[in-house]
Structure 1
Amino acid sequence: YVAVGDGGSANDPPNNAQNRDVLLGKMLRIDVGGDAFPNDPARDYRIPANNPFSASGGAPEIWALGLRNPFRNSFDRVTGNLWIGDVGQGAREEINLMRAGDGGANFGWKLFEGTLGGGSTAGLTFPVTEYSHGSGPLQGNSVTGGYVYRGPVESLQGLYIFGDFVRGALWSVPIAQLVPGTTLPSSSFTVRTQSFAPATGAINNVASFGQDQAGNLYIVDFDGEIFVIEPG
């Protein structure tokens, strides 16, 4: 799985994210276990047969479209669901959910930024949750997608934990409340910025998350520091 941004310019002038013939603004899905394009040194892979455009209708590598800047994505080790943090342009930050059968999902950019936009919503998949830009406790400016917690801290089991790069904020939300077809408001977030704070120093600019075999969750900040969430 390869997450690709829309190419950069404000408002996606070429409409890359909605163009099924280009790979920008997409989630790609390829099989690196073989080479279906031996004469093309830039395509040393195969196309999974159940990719939505594997036969026709668009670039066969595409698994989902309508993304602006997918920044950190993860699979739930229990369900296999794919969680995508997609950075907005000027108003909304969003979390998208893809299940195994959701290939071909269109997450709406540039027609919509999160749930903000106009025109027809036919064929679009809206985020399972979003938050607005700002400096409030449930606001931010650049989402960093996280993980569904499956580690040893019992009270965190089944929570999707994520953050905001610009503000350094951390939040959690129960995945049971994140249902495809509905967008949960940020008022349902639990703020974790203080409870996850280290004894010394600070988590600045949440850049990424990681998970080990035991399910422990790691937080990486832009200073190059790595923190692990442990029982209190």
Structure 2
Amino acid sequence: MSAAGLRVEGVTWAPSRKCPLLLHETSFDVPAGQTLGVVGPNGAGKTTLLRLIYGFNRPFTGQVSVGGQSLSTLAPRAVARMVAAVLQEQPTDFALSVREIVALGRVPHRLGFATLGNRDEEVIAAALDRMDLHGMAHRSLSTLSGGERQRVMVARALAQEPQVLVLDEPTNHLDIRHQLEVLQLIRDLDLTIITSLHDLNLAADICDQILVLCNGHMMAVGTPQDVLSDRLVSKTFMVQARLEELSLSRKSHFSFQLPN
């Protein structure tokens, strides 16, 4: 796996031409290997934007490019070799084992009904190792907890060997230990990562850039230090936000309360 830069240029989207836009004109660049956190209240357009990035929807206007290639010019299989996604919605009724699900990540790299080769087997084993899944490789997905299923879906995405990894709320359903493992994975992977997060303090800690959305509009994009101000966070989330410095770690931390 190797990272590639992501460019989003003037994208907009709505369910149909007759519907109001759910995402208004949005543009940003993410250099190869960096992590962009997408934050905003419910209904802000975060999932809509992610779907454009991993090719589930095509933008009404503008384009999404990976490594200088516009995704709209590529076949779905080619897009899947460049961008992988881990979504919040997790299947629970797969009649497949963990290993078989992770192996699905190799489908974009195979021709027709070709069997798995040595290279595929190595990639699958590495993805299982990375997410600490070898001990449950032969278990059915339906027998796993929500957190374990989340780890399986991350492993499947890694098996795609993408250049860009999209994570929609990756720490949902995870216990504290596996939250920390996923966050460490984000830091360690040599990939360009786009992740939506609800926790602003977490986003500020692990992301190189932050994109703030509200009601389908891009409010700001830039480094956490430049973007996450008391004023912008309070306006976007309709709370009273206060940025404080923790005395021991010297890190900044948001506290929140409802407006008077």
| TM-score of the superposed pair, with normalisation by structure 2 | 0.26
Report which of the two structures shows the higher radius of gyration computed on alpha carbons.
2
TM-score (normalizing by structure 1)? 0.28
By percentage of residues, which structure has more helix?
2
The structure, 1 or 2, with the larger RCO (C-alpha pairs under 8 Å, 6+ apart) is: 2
Q: Which has the higher strand share?
A: 1
